C-alpha cells in the first residue's frame, strides 16, 4: 500500500528534478502539461515511480490524470493508497 504524503513528495521531487521548476509551483491542481510534462515524461515517471515504490504502476495512471490531485484520487479508487 502506498502512502499519500510519500507519493506527493516523491512526485514533487521528480517533477522538480525533471523540469527545474520551483517546488512551490508544483501544486496538487497544477496540470502536468502546464508543468512541461509530455507523454514521454509521463511514461518515464510511471516507470520511476514503480521502481521507487516497488509496486506496479501503469503508465496510463499518469496519462489519464491531469494533475497530482487526480492521480492521488485515482490511486485511492484503485485501492493502491492507504
Partner 1 sequence: MGDLGSFNSLAPLLRDDPYPVYATLRARAPVFWTETEQAWVLLRHQDVSAAFGTPGLLTLDLGQFVADVSQALGDHPVELLRLLEMAIFFRNPPAHGPLRALVARLLALRPQAACAAEVTRIARDLHAPLARDGGLDLMTGFADPLPPRFMGWLLGLADADALWLAQTLAGVPVILNRGASIRDFRAAELRLTEAHAFLRPEIAARRNAPRDDGLSLLVSRNDASEAPFDDDRLTALTSFVFMAGFETTSALIGNALWLLLDHPDQCDRVAADRRLLASAAEEALRLEAPIQQVRRRAATDMTLAGQEIRAGQQIVLMIAAANRDPQAYPDPDLYLPGRTGRPVQSFGAGLHHCLGAWVARMEAEIALGTVLDGPRPRLCIDRPGWRPLHNQRRMTNLPVQV
Residue 5 Cβ, how far from partner 1 at the closest point, in Å?
Answer: 24
Residues 17-76 that bind partner 1 (CB under 8 A): 31, 33, 39-41, 43-44, 46-47, 50, 56-60, 63-66
Cα 52 to Cα 7: distance, rounded to the nearest angstrom = 10
Q: Does 4 bind partner 1 (CB under 8 A)?
A: no
DSSP 41-76: HHHHHHHHHHHHHTS---THHHHT-SSHHHHHHHHH
Q: Which is nearer to partner 1, 5 or 40 (CB)?
A: 40
Helix axis angle for 4-19 and 68-77, nearest 10°, is 140
- Where do contacts with partner 1 occur on this chain (CB under 8 A)? 31, 33, 39-41, 43-44, 46-47, 50, 56-60, 63-66, 78
Amino acid at each position: 500500500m502506498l502512502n499519500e504524503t510519500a507519493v506527493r513528495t516523491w512526485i514533487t521531487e521528480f517533477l522538480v528534478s525533471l523540469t527545474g521548476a520551483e517546488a512551490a509551483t508544483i501544486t496538487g491542481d497544477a496540470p502536468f502539461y502546464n508543468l512541461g510534462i509530455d507523454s514521454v515524461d509521463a511514461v518515464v515517471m510511471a516507470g520511476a515511480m514503480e521502481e521507487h515504490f516497488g509496486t506496479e504502476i501503469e503508465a496510463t495512471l499518469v496519462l489519464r490524470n491531469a494533475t497530482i490531485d487526480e492521480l492521488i484520487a485515482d490511486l485511492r479508487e484503485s485501492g493502491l493508497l492507504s
